[in-house]
Amino acid sequence: MKKLWRLASAVVGITALVWLLAQPGDSSPAASRSQRGPAAQTTSTDAAAQLPQFEAFDPVAPTLSPAVRDLPLAPNEPTLDREVNPRLNLNADLIEPPSLGLPGGVDPLLARQAAAAPQAPDDFLTPILNFDAQGYTFLNPPDTVGDAGPDHYVHAINHGGGTSVMIYDKSGGVVAGPIYLDALGSGACANGYGDPIVLYDTLADRWLLSEFAGTGNWLCVYVSQTADPTGSYYAYAFNTPSFPDYPKYAVWSDAYYVTANESSPSVFALDRSQMLIGQAASSQRFTAPSLSGFSFQALTPSDVDGSTPPPAGSPNYLMRHRDTEAHGPSGYPTTDLLEIWAYDVDFTTPANSSFTKIADIPVSEFDSELCGFFSFNCFPQQGSSTTLDPLREVIMWRLVYRNFGTHEVLLGNLVTDVDGTNHGGIRWFELRKSGANPWTLYQEGTFAPDQHSRWLGSIAMDGSGNIAVGYSVSSSSMYPSIRYAGRLATDPAGTLPYAEGNIVAGTSANGSNRWGDYSAMSIDPADDCTFWFTNMYSQNGNWTTRLASFKFSQCGTPDFSLTAAPATLSVCAPDDAVYDVTVDGTLGFNSSVTLSATGYPAGTTAVFAPNPVASSGSSQLTISNTAAASRGQYTIEIAGISPTSTHTTTVGLDLSTALPLLPIQLTPINGAVGAGTQPAFTWTTDASADDYTFELATDAAFTNIVVSAGGLTTGAYNLAAPLAHGTTYYWRVTGSNGCGAGVSPVFSFTTEPPVGSCEMGTVPATLFAEDFETGAVGWTSSGTQNTWTLSTASVHGGTYAYHAVNLDSASDQRLVSPDVALPAGSDTLLLHFWNRQVLEASQTGCYDGGILEISTDGGSSWTQLQSQLLTDPYNGTINSSYGNPLAGQNAWCGTQDWLDSIVDVTEFAGSTVNFRFRVGTDQSVGREGWYVDDVTVEACQPGSVDVTLGGGAPIHWLAGEDVTHTVTVHNAGIVTETFNLAVTSLWPAALAAPSVTLAPGESADVDVVVSIPAGTLPGTQETTTVTAVSATNPAIGAQVDLITRVSGGYQLYMPVAVRAQ
């Protein structure tokens, strides 16, 4: 049956291959990892170093579609369940970043949201309309989308026939549909495939609908001929260089902008002015550099809300988020980034078009690692083992743009792991830009109020600056449901006090892991106040979609918002604390605002200048006379009072009156050898310190800092990832407050050696080495159908390696080493060999495989080595059904690139042994085979370094003088070594030599000069630590402490009379 099973698998594979090859174009949806498949990755850690690529395309002539109202309804006939364009990883070399998590363990913005007073249920939290929209269409996911116009809401989802469109009136009644979107198209676009987009163009009073085609690489774009979405559409088919996966559209003054996940993130500009009048329209395309660390990548374009267009000549702004721990660059230990790109299009002279990254906006740390960086399974749902796609890779559509005249806004959201447990939360942000000034972060927040995960968000802002965000919510105790939250423009920055509104609760789990891939929050252009949100949820074992509307009753009323910066200020008495206070009027607010403050320290004064403030203006709050106040942390509430409303905001004041005490390191102790690769770092704390900064480096001068974590409020730090084995590290802690900083001494430690290395205090001595470059003297091979031979086909080093073929017939092939004498009394004996295997595996184990055996009697008997394998354990048991001579034995199989396999053979000390590499194959299916290269046997023997004090510290030395100590470095090992020396001291100290090279048993004296600072009091002493570490094995080292003590002394002072002039 084995051959029949393999034959069936081969038929399926060949059928799939033929289907793929039959698809037209460069790549098809199925062949292109579409729907968020992995994009090609860059090996650069700084994506900005790669230049964008540009293409301009010839104009495309449209056709005019039939009127939507006249089209036949799309049937929803049962079909085989399918996944819309399953995402395939076509990049086998993609490397997933390590999981590093958040520096502080939890999202730094959670506390801000938790401190916000929740608003009582009101009109906003009670939907106006709330009903089921289009339902399950026998595929996953639906890609739910829609937008509101003056009189209609247009809704679209994926369907077995491409995209299904439904048009509602503002009461929820069906006006037209469901219709297939491809009924509007022709040519390739007559066969739609999904990923729908719906946008109402508020600047032109038109509708834009889109999907991609089922064959080839096409964007199918439809622009309504009039403001009526039920009428005819200008139908365009834009060909793209590769499959335009996950296309996201945005309305802008000069173009319709489209982003996609191609082989790299791409962005298209479509000639909007021509499309609005049904004329031939050209397109242009730029590509952005890929980020290392995401398997799927796309930018998100900014889409205009409101009736005010962007300033004349303004480029479209595109954005993506950058978790610096995963994507780089280095140098951002406590922040992550929002990249902003500007696309300035010129359809008349395409060479003038530009696409430039204009900003990296630092934001609070977020964590994009959700069940890894590649997995499409993460968030749990009640009653099912199927977990849902977290959609971690993109800023969720839409990225909202608004122009308020006084300032411009970019508003967006993404998902983040809020506590390192794959617990999803909504990270939202608002950027602002005034005039020619750059974009800056105005506010940000994270919403994750309980144990449930929230993700798949979409966000919008009404004409008064109020915000609503809708999302999915699910957990092991909740079926996938839909909720929303919001804030008034006057609420405390970074908070969503209006939470939560329940749109619908799910009643079942989703059968597929695919979820989303997006939802849609939009603002009603009829009043610029009503939010419309559509998303998917689960009921009756399948998904369906929901549509709801809601609004703030405050929208449209003239009012003002009150903000203050910085959010927290650290001050050292007697300095003043100064805050900038801003009043922003909206919707014609024209009253003055009187400012006041409470909560500032007793004994200080608080003055605003000016006060009151005009309807849109600024003031400065100055807290003075801080010398009269007590040290501490204060929350100052600032109130703004107008004739019609009162608003408040808060700022923090950390008041210090003296420098903090120096932190004292506790663990690991200075000079520790054999520390774990994730040691617990602890130090003493001082109540006067605001926070601490932990730094870890590979050198005592801290020129190569590998970990830096600031804002720590406890005396402990845990590494997010293991350190390298057998490496010396240096660490220090800085305590800071408003008066300055105190830096601890520098401590060092050396991590334990890696598995399969000699223990601390021992060094390897080579007993046997074979690189197969000189004919492999003493090696023999035998067995049935033996193919062991020296080969150049694949090697670890040099030119030759031994190779045995994985035959498609039964064989037992044996390669035996020469005699190897293992001396008695050795601490550890280790066999190393490099090997590469391509041996046939089964689903649960091995069909063919390789094993390692040892003989202590010249080959008369052999024992398989199993428990002795320190690395590279066997992959599984060899199947016993197909004639393999090694059936039933554990073996190596499958595909493994060159690997250093390490075996502990200490138990055979005192014996002369042979090693046997043995390959067993069965009766069918061959593979490349097994390669063995660079075989060594090592004994771990004493090789310690002993550092002793050769001269005592003088005890009668005065402040301001130099003391010379002498240390003796002695090599107690068995090989010549170089020892690197280092000195740490709070007083200036210098070594006469940075290193010494010693033969076995040799010693050397090295002077250490310690300078006693002038003015040091008698009786004061300082400990100076000297370490010596082997240059070839950092795990070997020792240290000595030198004591320098200041004794009493006399100095003569002569009085001087100064005559007044």
- Residue 569 forms part of a structural domain: yes
Q: Which of 538, 550, 551, 335 is nearest to 429 (CA)?
A: 335
In a domain, 859, yes or no: yes
CATH of the domain at 600: 2.60.40.10
| Strand pairing class (691-697; 705-712) | antiparallel
The pLDDT of residue 490 is above 80: yes
Cα distances from 218 to residues 29, 195, 294, 621, in angstroms, run: 10, 12, 24, 58
Together in a domain, 292 and 372: yes
Whether residue 785 has pLDDT greater than 70: yes
Residue 42 lies in a domain: no
Per-residue b or e along 53-84, where b marks 16 or more CB atoms closer than 10 Å to that residue's CB: eeeebeebebeebeebeebeebebeeeeeeeb
Among 44-53, 491-500, 913-922, 1005-1014, name the one with the lowest average pLDDT.
44-53
C-alpha 775: how far from its chain's center? Answer: 50
pLDDT in tens, 441-451: 999 999 999 99
**Quick check: is 840 in a domain?**
yes
The tally of domains found in the chain comes to 5
Summarize pLDDT for 533-545 with one digit per residue, the tens: 999 999 988 999 9
CA distances from 1016 to 252, 715, 955, 957, 1012 (A): 70, 29, 14, 11, 7
Tens of pLDDT, residues 342-399: 999 999 999 999 999 999 999 999 999 999 988 899 999 999 999 999 999 999 999 9
27 pLDDT tier (thresholds 50, 70, 90): very low
Range with the poorest average pLDDT among 10-14, 93-97, 622-626, 848-852? 10-14
Residue 45 lies inside a defined structural domain of this protein: no
Looking at residue 392, what is its pLDDT?
A: 94
Residue 596 resides in a domain: yes
User: ∠ CA 985-989-991 to the nearest 5 degrees?
Assistant: 120
Same domain, 152 and 236: yes
End-to-end CA distance of the chain: 116
Run of H or E residues at 18: helix 2-22
Residues 788, 932 share a domain? yes
Task: Write down which residue in 917, 942, 967 finishes a domain.
Answer: 942
CB atoms under 10 Å from CB of 402, counted, come to 23
In this predicted model, which residue has the larger pLDDT, 290 or 588? 290
- pLDDT, residue 602, reads 97
pLDDT at 1061 over 60: no
Return the structure tokens found at 251: 């309305």
Report if residue 75 sits inside a domain.
Answer: no
Domain coverage including residue 1018: 945-1045
Q: Reply yes or no on whether the pLDDT at 770 is more than 90.
A: yes
Confidence band, pLDDT 50/70/90 cuts, at residue 1035: low
Q: Are residues 589 and 539 in the same domain?
A: no
Pick the residue with more confidence: 264 or 148?
148
Tens-digit pLDDT profile for residues 296-342: 889 999 999 999 999 999 999 999 999 998 888 877 888 999 999 99
Lowest mean pLDDT among 183-187, 553-557, 1056-1060: 1056-1060
Mean pLDDT score, 194-218: 97
Residue 377 has a CB neighbour count (10 Å cut-off) of 16
Average pLDDT over residues 214-233: 97
Q: Tell me which H or E stretch contains 178.
A: strand 174-180
Of 62-71, 607-616, 919-928, 979-988, which gets the smallest average pLDDT? 979-988
Determine the Cα–Cα distance for residues 770 and 777; give it in Å rounded to an integer: 9
Residue 1040 has pLDDT above 90, yes or no: no
Q: How far apart are CA 950 and CA 1007, in angstroms?
A: 10
CA atoms within 13 A on the CB side of 685: 15
Q: Which of 199, 185, 202 is nearest to 154 (CA)?
A: 199
Confirm if 334 and 710 have CB atoms less than 8 A apart: yes
The C-alpha atoms of residue 819 and residue 811 are separated, in whole angstroms, by 25
| Preceding omega of 994 cis (within 30 degrees of 0) | no
Domain boundary among 656, 689, 708: 656
Please check whether residues 419 and 522 belong to one and the same domain.
Answer: yes
As a whole number of angstroms, the distance between CA 621 and CA 159 comes to: 58
Based on the domain organization, do 985 and 1015 belong to the same domain? yes
State the average pLDDT over residues 905-913: 95
Q: Could you tell me if 462 and 521 lie in one domain?
A: yes
- Residue 729 pLDDT more than 80? yes
Q: Is the same domain home to 746 and 602?
A: no
What is the average per-residue pLDDT within 180-204? 97
Peptide bond into 668 cis (omega under 30): yes
Q: Are residues 496 and 364 in the same domain?
A: yes
Instruction: Provide the mean pLDDT of the chain.
Output: 88
Domain boundary among 520, 550, 580: 550
Residue of 518 and 34 predicted with greater confidence: 518
Residue-wise pLDDT for 109-138, tens only, equals 999 999 888 887 788 999 999 999 999 998
Looking at residue 818, its pLDDT comes to 97
- Domain membership of residue 1055 (yes or no) is no
CA 1012/CA 990 separation, integer angstroms:
12
Residue, of 321 and 3, whose pLDDT is higher: 321
Let me know whether 728 and 821 are in one domain. no
pLDDT at 528 over 90: yes
- Same domain for 787 and 651, yes or no, is no
- Between 210 and 86, whose confidence is greater? 210
Question: Do residue 145 and residue 169 come from a single domain?
Answer: yes
The CA distances from residue 512 to 541, 898, 966, in Å, are 10, 38, 72
Residue 652 has pLDDT above 90, yes or no: yes
Placement of tokens 């798949």 in the chain: 456
